Amino acid sequence: MTLKKIIALLLAIATVFCMAACGGNNEEPEGPQEPIDISNLTEEEIAHYKAQPLVVYTNSGSGGRADWWTKKAKEAGFTNITIVNGGASAMSEKIKAERKNPQADVMCGLNAMGWADLKNEGLLLQYVPTWAPLVDEGMNDPDGYFHAITKEAILLVYDKNTWTADQAPKDWLDLWQDGNTQYHGTFQCWSALTGGTTQVNLTGILHRYKSDAADAKYGVSPEGWEQIKKLYKYGVSASGDVISAIAAVDGSQKDVHCGQWYSSGIKSYSETYEVELDYVVPEVGVPYAITGCGIVKGCKNPITAALFLEWYGSTEFQTTWAKAWDTAPANREAWEAGASEDAKKYTNLPQQQIDWAWAQQHMGEWVEYITLQFMK
């Protein structure tokens, strides 16, 4: 077994262990647990609390975003903010590992599965920001533990200089079918399964084969696992993100012409790497990741955390964020004022209907099984 696979396996085992324990750890995080009320704070008090130390964990800070909104947060008065950026699973597991001594005040990012996991673990503090009613029904947690920030389409993108729209695959499944040799060796397969985007994409593929039949493994039919086997058989295990891979002319990435990417990153990364991209919309639709924000239970500065959420999800900041990074805000006012035509187009793509509770239930098993059985 290669070192790369050993590392991936250890990550997979850690994910399985933590997900298996979901809801089973009754230890309460230490620290303030009283309901948060900032409605009567004076301007002086608000300024005082904003200046207190604030630690924000995020999986949404890549490509310079974390530095950008750190600067914006400081301009808004959060002068003592520290942002810790990493993969979705890494940040989630860090919060779990720190349950008895929380280091983060706020978590920003994650998708529906990640938030449900932290909620079930009892690691979030209830707080409903004033902008919550501006988010469409069903996107926020009904119990007030986390709230939607952006809606991301997870897409199969491809190099327009490689294929025309007629030549390009029409679905993920086209890439690895035995008869479609023109696509074999052209797409990037997953070298790790801990990222939020990857887990949403994996769910979108496996959900087509959701089954409770006797021969199903981890909620997926044998045909579904055959798809994953072929994905790894015909895919390219190339380092780096797919857009830098499409732009590469040598190294492990040079044969990559398509793969997964999130909608708000298409414009900025295309410009950075000077590539022309198009994307695929399968008949079943595309999976969406709803990113959110929430307060970590037991955090050291809950009032500062609440003030940060009020700012972070506000119409003003989300409009600025959308204009700078091509996001599609969940805040309707920000979506109208700041979302680009491309961002609005992405959020109007046909949505694949997915049972996210089923996906969360089995994700740890999928990660371990794929890592052991199929990963290169």
12 inside domain? yes
Is the per-residue pLDDT at 167 higher than 50? yes
336 inside domain? yes
> Measured between alpha carbons, how far is residue 269 from residues 274, 275, 326 in Å?
8, 8, 11
d(CA 263, CA 202): 16
Is the per-residue pLDDT at 21 higher than 70? no
Is the per-residue pLDDT at 311 higher than 90? yes
369 inside domain? no
What number is the average pLDDT over the span 156-177? 97
Looking only at the bridges linking them, the beta strands covering 81-85 and 54-58 are parallel
- Same domain for 159 and 308: no
pLDDT, one tens digit per residue, over 188-238 is 999 889 888 999 999 999 999 999 999 999 999 999 999 999 999 999 998
What number is the average pLDDT over the span 41-61? 96
Per-chain mean pLDDT for the chain: 91
> What is the percent of the chain where pLDDT is above 70?
91
Of the CA atoms within 13 Å of residue 5, those in its CB half-sphere come to: 11
Is the per-residue pLDDT at 83 higher than 60? yes
- Same domain for 323 and 252: no
d(CA 300, CA 287): 36
- Same domain for 261 and 184: yes
What is the structure's pLDDT at 252?
86
> Measured between alpha carbons, how far is residue 135 from residues 140, 230, 309 in Å?
7, 40, 14
pLDDT, one tens digit per residue, over 242-253 is 999 999 998 889
Helix 88-97, helix 196-206: angle, nearest 10: 110
- Same domain for 194 and 258: yes
Is the per-residue pLDDT at 156 higher than 90? yes
Contacts for 123 with CB less than 8 Å, ≥ 6 apart: 29, 95, 96, 99, 296, 297
Contact yes or no for 108/56 (Cβ under 8 A) = yes
d(CA 351, CA 282): 10
- Same domain for 281 and 266: yes
Structure tokens, 333: 């006012």
Say how many C-beta atoms besides its own lie within 10 A of residue 351's C-beta.
14
- Same domain for 121 and 58: yes
What is the structure's pLDDT at 238?
85
What number is the average pLDDT over the span 94-99? 97
297 inside domain? yes
- The three-class DSSP label of residue 300 is coil
What is the structure's pLDDT at 331?
97
374 inside domain? no
d(CA 376, CA 370): 10
- Same domain for 7 and 144: yes
d(CA 203, CA 208): 9
- Same domain for 91 and 106: yes
What is the structure's pLDDT at 24?
41
Structural domain count, the chain: 2
| H-only helix segments in the chain | 3-20, 43-50, 65-75, 88-97, 112-120, 196-206, 222-234, 242-247, 266-273, 302-312, 315-325, 332-338, 341-347, 356-373
358 inside domain? no
330 inside domain? yes
Of the CA atoms within 13 Å of residue 228, those in its CB half-sphere come to: 28
Contact yes or no for 58/85 (Cβ under 8 A) = yes
Is the per-residue pLDDT at 16 higher than 60? no
| DSSP for 216-270, written as a single string | -BTTB-HHHHHHHHHHHHHSB--SS-HHHHHH-SSGGGTT--EEEEEGGGHHHHH
Residue ending a domain, choose from 240, 272, 287: 287
* Residue 101 confidence class, pLDDT cut points 50, 70, 90: very high
* Residue 22 confidence class, pLDDT cut points 50, 70, 90: very low
- Check which CATH number belongs to the domain holding 193 and give it: 3.40.190.10
Contact yes or no for 1/350 (Cβ under 8 A) = no
d(CA 190, CA 297): 33
- Same domain for 100 and 73: yes
Is the per-residue pLDDT at 296 higher than 50? yes
Residues spanned by the domain of 86? 3-151+290-347
- Same domain for 118 and 252: no
- Same domain for 95 and 38: yes
Contact yes or no for 259/205 (Cβ under 8 A) = no
Is the per-residue pLDDT at 57 higher than 90? yes
| DSSP for 181-216, written as a single string | TTTTT-BBPPS-S-SHHHHHHHHHHHGGGB--STT-
What number is the average pLDDT over the span 159-165? 96
More confident position, 240 or 355: 355
